[in-house]
Amino acid sequence: MTKNFEDKLGQGGYGSVYKGKLRSGHFVAVKLLGKSGADGQDFINEIATIGRIHHVNIVHLVGYCAERSKRALIFDFMPNGSLDKYVFQREKYTSWDWDMKFKIAVGVARGMEYLHHGCDIQILHFDIKPHNILLDDKFVPKISDFGLAKLCAAKKEAVTLTAARGTIGYVAPELINRSIGSVSYKADVYSYGMLLMEMVSLNKNLPQNKDGSSKYFPNWIYDYLNQSRDIDIENTDENDDRKIGRKMTIVALWCIQMCPDSRPSMNKVLDMLEGGVEHLQIPDYTTYVARNEEESWGTDSNDSISVLHDDNGSNIIEILSNA
């Protein structure tokens, strides 16, 4: 299928992805799990989750292979790769018009809304980030990588986790500190808000304080919006572009509220995105993180985290690179 794995598309903590071709001529992406998935849990989890999903904004599972210790997942091939290849490469991303960025943002939101409320069971992804948003030949976004996903009852308000899951910079604060609130689908909403921040590129050119340090960017955005000032959003020449950028910014601020209960559902997110920007209210200012924690919530890392508990009851953050 892959001609002896000759065309490598990418690699992560889970293993490697190769381009393949079925006998029918259909191109696929073959995700070959590495040793980290030897226990089979991530493999079974992803098949059980994505195998029951059929949505235009969710990657389609074509099949899977399992032979001895070797396991592979076969997906539709996405010729335009993942969103991170555009968001983190400015020369590529600035060539996109704002209609394209907005359509991708809405497409991801629709896929997440389906996961949370459109299935017969609620699916929490727990790793929404640009790296896990694939783009087909028409740049339609597809949510991928369900290795960290959790299934729960459709109307269940909270889930129990023995360890945090997600990626630094996108993981919701309640997954790190349970005193903030219960863990629910609102954790995905937080991750989506951080993804929007990346798409608007607001955290790329932060103004520095007099002492040379950068201000935590949601607080900086609040200061500008509350003073009725226009944020200098990259590559926005037309008024309509500024409206799109402002809309995505305000929605992102709602999504990354510290308290999970203050964040909107993905149904509400779609209503805000598809409505007029003049009807959007800026959420109340809240203190997101303590001053000495601000750097730990940056979005430049692609490391996944797990929070373990030792015998003394303290939290230990374990870094799992590129998971």
**Which residues are identified as catalytic?**
127
Q: CB neighbours of 57 closer than 8 A, spacing ≥ 6?
A: 107, 108, 110, 111, 114, 140, 141, 142, 143
